[in-house]
């Protein structure tokens, strides 16, 4: 449930085991596995940033990829246009995304529910179109390539470890925000803006802050993705990434802190391994999504909780 995040000893143990399992797979699985893992971890960060917005702020965005793309291009353009060293340009990815979040957010939070979602979609499409068509500046649909060694020249395995660390730091920061007065305010407005307003909150301002925070973390994911590919393409801001992240959050389960991560693990692993067994992996994904939404409306994260309670690791709350 969307309660403030508490880490019990059992949860710490599960988290530790997951980290060890990922790193182990990374080290023994070969370069192919490491590439899949790096992508999975980056998407886990991206989906988690969307989840922050959806599970805590109750704001459904259809345009979150705008900030993934702005992160990638903010970083890339600082290298190619401003001539900054790659390491220094890194900070401009998340900053560009946060700035984009501020501008688009100020517009979008004026509306709620489906109208909010539609505005975010429009903002993302604008971003995509600018990246796609502004050839002189962004390279248009040919993207920007060859400005750096992919992964800073790190080995596949080492880069996957780096993304694991970045994901861990970002998740810790997100958890810190959720478990703070600000996090309470974001949840309050998400659950009942009238009540929050009557208590003295300006809902739009709170939503804007949540939006910028989510955009910032999406920007980190986008920057990392550009580093992993050594390139930036308009698709990064396209509808595909938004939909993937939405699916991950739903698979993982709304109202859980971990839904972005869990959803990303399931989604990316399926995407990479299912095609080995079937030509119709999207069909398989569709069926899995259908089953999860109908049978597990609270997503896979709820199963973990139920299991832990059945095993007596956690008390019922």
User: Which residues sit at the interface with other proteins, rule CB under 8 A?
Assistant: 1-4, 176-177, 179-182, 184-185, 187-188, 191-192, 194-203, 206, 209, 255, 317
Kindly state the smallest distance separating residue 110's Cβ from other proteins, in Å. Answer: 14
Instruction: Please identify, using beta-carbon distances, which residue of 1 and 243 lies nearer to other proteins.
Output: 1
DSSP-derived secondary structure for 231-298: EE-GGGGSHHHHHHHHHHHHHH-TT-TTHHHHHHHHHHHHHHHHHHH-S-HHHHHHHHHHHHHHH-TT
CA 206 to CA 187: how far, in whole Å? 10
Kindly state the smallest distance separating residue 185's Cβ from other proteins, in Å. Answer: 4
List the structure tokens of 211: 């939006």
List the structure tokens of 154: 């790190």
Residue 230 Cα distances to 114, 159, 241, angstroms: 36, 12, 18
Kindly state the smallest distance separating residue 255's Cβ from other proteins, in Å. Answer: 7
Instruction: Please identify, using beta-carbon distances, which residue of 86 and 102 lies nearer to other proteins.
Output: 102
Kindly state the smallest distance separating residue 197's Cβ from other proteins, in Å. Answer: 4
Residue whose tokens read 């730091």 = 169
The counts of H helices and E strands in the chain are 15, 2
Q: Which residues contact 209 (CB under 8 A, 6 or more apart)?
A: 182, 186
Kindly state the smallest distance separating residue 173's Cβ from other proteins, in Å. Answer: 10
CA 203 to CA 108: how far, in whole Å? 13
Instruction: Please identify, using beta-carbon distances, which residue of 280 and 309 lies nearer to other proteins.
Output: 309
Instruction: Please identify, using beta-carbon distances, which residue of 158 and 179 lies nearer to other proteins.
Output: 179
Instruction: Please identify, using beta-carbon distances, which residue of 209 and 246 lies nearer to other proteins.
Output: 209
How many CB atoms are closer than 10 A to CB 126?
14
List the structure tokens of 75: 């970083």
Residue 308 Cα distances to 3, 10, 11, 230, angstroms: 17, 8, 9, 41
Instruction: Please identify, using beta-carbon distances, which residue of 144 and 208 lies nearer to other proteins.
Output: 208
- State how beta strands 144-145 and 231-232 pair: antiparallel
Kindly state the smallest distance separating residue 48's Cβ from other proteins, in Å. Answer: 18
Instruction: Please identify, using beta-carbon distances, which residue of 83 and 200 lies nearer to other proteins.
Output: 200
Kindly state the smallest distance separating residue 3's Cβ from other proteins, in Å. Answer: 6
Instruction: Please identify, using beta-carbon distances, which residue of 176 and 306 lies nearer to other proteins.
Output: 176
Q: Which residues contact 296 (CB under 8 A, 6 or more apart)?
A: 253, 302, 303
> Mapping DSSP to helix (H, G, I), strand (E, B) and coil, where does residue 72 land?
helix
Kindly state the smallest distance separating residue 61's Cβ from other proteins, in Å. Answer: 19
Kindly state the smallest distance separating residue 1's Cβ from other proteins, in Å. Answer: 6
Instruction: Please identify, using beta-carbon distances, which residue of 83 and 181 lies nearer to other proteins.
Output: 181
List the structure tokens of 123: 């903002």
């Amino acid at each position: 449930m969307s309660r403030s995040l508490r880490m019990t000893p059992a949860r710490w143990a599960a988290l530790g085991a997951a980290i060890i399992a990922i790193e182990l797979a990374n080290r023994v699985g070969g370069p192919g596995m490491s590439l899949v893992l790096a992508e999975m971890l980056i998407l886990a960060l991206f989906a988690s940033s969307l989840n922050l917005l959806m599970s805590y702020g109750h704001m459904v965005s259809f345009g979150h990829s705008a900030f993934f793309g702005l992160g990638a291009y903010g970083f890339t353009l600082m290298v190619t246009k401003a001539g900054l060293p790659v390491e220094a340009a890194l900070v401009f990815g998340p900053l560009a995304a946060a700035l984009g979040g501020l501008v688009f957010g100020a517009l979008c939070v004026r509306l709620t529910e489906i109208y909010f979602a539609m505005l975010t979609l429009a903002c993302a499409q604008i971003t995509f179109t600018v990246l796609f068509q502004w050839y002189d500046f962004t390279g248009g649909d040919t993207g920007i390539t060859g400005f750096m060694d992919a992964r800073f020249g790190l080995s596949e395995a080492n880069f996957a470890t780096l993304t694991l660390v970045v994901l861990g730091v970002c998740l810790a920061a997100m958890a810190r925000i959720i478990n703070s007065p600000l996090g309470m305010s974001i949840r309050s407005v998400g659950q009942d803006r009238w009540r929050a307003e009557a208590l003295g909150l300006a809902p739009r301002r709170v939503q804007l802050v949540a939006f910028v925070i989510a955009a910032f973390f999406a920007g980190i994911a986008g920057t990392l993705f550009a580093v992993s590919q050594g390139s930036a393409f308009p698709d990064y801001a396209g509808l595909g990434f938004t939909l993937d992240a939405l699916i991950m959050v739903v698979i993982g389960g709304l109202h859980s802190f971990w839904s972005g991560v869990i959803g990303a693990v399931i989604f990316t692993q399926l995407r990479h391994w299912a095609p080995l067994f079937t030509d119709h992996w999207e069909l398989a994904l569709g069926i899995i999504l259908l089953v999860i939404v109908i049978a597990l409306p609270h997503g896979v994260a709820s199963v973990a909780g139920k299991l832990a309670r059945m095993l007596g690791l956690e008390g019922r709350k």
